[in-house]
């Protein structure tokens, strides 16, 4: 592991104060953490997928009512983890035989444990945050998947719940001697009240690839991006760290990237949502916006023993 600035550090909780509560479900499929102040997060071991994050009694993430949570397919909603390829894999690449978005979101991860902290990006000076760690390793994969991507790797995904927000960080380590290339992305589905009143700010002047318009490359000129149809854009090499979602001109979420340079904005809109069997309700596209931080413009390369870490801090601004 490498040490990185501002990474939440585990320390002994202060005695006598209310502590975060962490529970593993009876069927060993889900970890739930709750702070004494009421904030909560739920993470499926399938895909290490965050499926709920509540603050102030409000659910911040969109989850399809028909999302499949039994491990048979990726989860529609929440925050799926994309690795080692984003979207459909390119031809003549080491990932070319993998499914779209890779295997991490459709693999069972190991729950590595919890730690509490009164330091770090989300803490406010007390025992008011809890970090949950999840692991996925080469040995965890089926033989079929290993054949499709035959590299030795280790992933540790850390989900930190704080009074100030939610932090999700992915640590990728090359455990073998042969180098490999990868992409990674956190496919966050944010819940909104009305997509017609939503704007995304902080991307002015950034180059993006518009997948709806045959991968046309464009420079963003709008200070407030509005969603009025199917949207699938990959914003590349963003200079500023923070992207803001507003609703009715009021700030709703700040998404702060950490060592990830790209962001995808996605909304399926009516026609595409209608064609997804696990997308319900069918008008759910009016209640969500995906703002997905990642490293997907080109490839990250790790030599044997090297490590990469990146992620996001999300702040609910209600």
The number of residues making up the chain comes to 318
- pLDDT, one tens digit per residue, over 267-298 is 999 999 999 999 999 999 999 999 999 999 99
Q: What whole-number distance in Å separates Cα of residue 22 and Cα of residue 44?
A: 13
At residue 13, does pLDDT exceed 60?
no
pLDDT at 5: 53
For residues 242-267, give the mean pLDDT.
97
Burial class (CB in 10 A: 0-12, 13-18, 19+), 177: exposed
- pLDDT, one tens digit per residue, over 130-149 is 999 999 999 999 999 999 99
Task: For residue 125, name the pLDDT band (cuts at 50, 70, 90).
Answer: low
For residues 148-168, give the mean pLDDT.
97
Which helix H or strand E contains 269, and what residues bound it? Answer: helix 269-274
- Of 293, 228, 283, 203, the closest CA to residue 257 belongs to 293
pLDDT at 6: 54
CB within 8 Å of 138: residues ≥ 6 apart:
146, 151, 152, 153, 154, 175
Q: Which ranges of 209-275 would DSSP assign to H, the alpha helix?
A: 269-274
From the list 39, 46, 101, 187, the catalytic residue is 187
pLDDT at 11: 35
Say what the alpha-carbon torsion angle 162, 122, 233, 105 is, to the nearest 10 degrees. Answer: -50
At residue 315, does pLDDT exceed 60?
yes
Catalytic-residue membership of 292 = yes
Q: What whole-number distance in Å separates Cα of residue 260 and Cα of residue 65?
A: 30
Residue predicted with more confidence, 203 or 120: 203
**Distance from CA of residue 173 to its chain's centroid?**
18
Task: For residue 1, name the pLDDT band (cuts at 50, 70, 90).
Answer: very low
CA atoms within 13 A of residue 276's CA, in its CB half-sphere: 24
At residue 155, does pLDDT exceed 60?
yes
At residue 105, does pLDDT exceed 50?
yes
pLDDT at 17: 73
Which residues are paired to 255 by β-bridges?
243, 314
237 phi, psi to nearest 5 deg: 50, 55
Q: What whole-number distance in Å separates Cα of residue 11 and Cα of residue 8?
A: 10
At residue 45, does pLDDT exceed 80?
yes
Which residues are paired to 165 by β-bridges?
162
Task: For residue 8, name the pLDDT band (cuts at 50, 70, 90).
Answer: very low
For residues 70-99, give the mean pLDDT.
97
With b for 16 or more beta-carbon neighbours within 10 A and e for fewer, the 100-132 pattern comes to: ebbbbbbbebebeebbbbbebbbbeebbbbbbb
Mean model confidence pLDDT for the chain:
93
At residue 4, does pLDDT exceed 60?
no
pLDDT at 119: 59
Could you tell me whether strands 180-186 and 307-316 are parallel, antiparallel, or unpaired per DSSP bridges? unpaired
- What single DSSP character describes residue 84? S
pLDDT at 249: 86
pLDDT at 16: 57
pLDDT at 15: 54
Share of the chain above pLDDT 90, in %: 89
From the list 39, 118, 247, 292, the catalytic residue is 292
């Amino acid at each position: 592991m490498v040490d990185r600035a501002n990474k939440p550090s585990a320390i002994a909780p202060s005695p006598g104060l209310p502590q975060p509560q962490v529970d593993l479900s009876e069927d060993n499929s889900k970890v739930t953490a709750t702070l004494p102040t009421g904030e909560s997060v739920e993470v499926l071991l399938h895909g290490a997928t965050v499926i709920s994050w509540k603050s102030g009694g409000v659910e911040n993430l969109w989850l399809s009512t028909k999302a499949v949570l039994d491990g048979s397919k990726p989860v529609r909603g929440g925050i799926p983890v994309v690795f080692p390829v984003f979207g459909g894999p390119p031809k003549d690449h080491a990932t070319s035989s993998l499914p779209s978005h890779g295997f991490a979101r459709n693999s069972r991860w190991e729950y590595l444990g919890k730690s509490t902290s009164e330091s770090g990006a989300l803490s406010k000076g007390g025992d008011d945050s809890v970090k949950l760690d999840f692991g996925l390793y080469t040995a965890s994969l089926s033989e079929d998947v290993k054949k499709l991507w035959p590299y030795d790797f280790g992933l540790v995904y850390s989900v930190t719940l704080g009074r100030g927000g939610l932090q999700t960080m992915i640590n990728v380590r090359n455990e073998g001697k042969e180098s490999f290339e990868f992409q990674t992305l956190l496919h966050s589905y944010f819940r909104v009240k009305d997509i017609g009143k939503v704007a995304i700010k902080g991307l002015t002047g950034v180059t993006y690839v518009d997948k709806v318009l045959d991968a046309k490359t464009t420079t963003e000129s709008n200070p407030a991006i509005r969603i009025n149809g199917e949207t699938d854009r990959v914003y590349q090499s963003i200079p500023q760290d923070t992207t803001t979602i507003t609703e009715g001109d009021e700030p709703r979420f700040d998404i702060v990237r950490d060592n990830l340079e790209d962001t995808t904005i996605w909304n399926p809109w009516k026609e595409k949502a209608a064609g997804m069997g696990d997308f319900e309700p069918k008008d759910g596209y009016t209640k969500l916006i995906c703002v997905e931080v990642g490293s997907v413009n080109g490839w990250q390369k790790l030599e044997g023993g090297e490590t990469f870490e990146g992620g996001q801090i999300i702040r609910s601004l209600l």
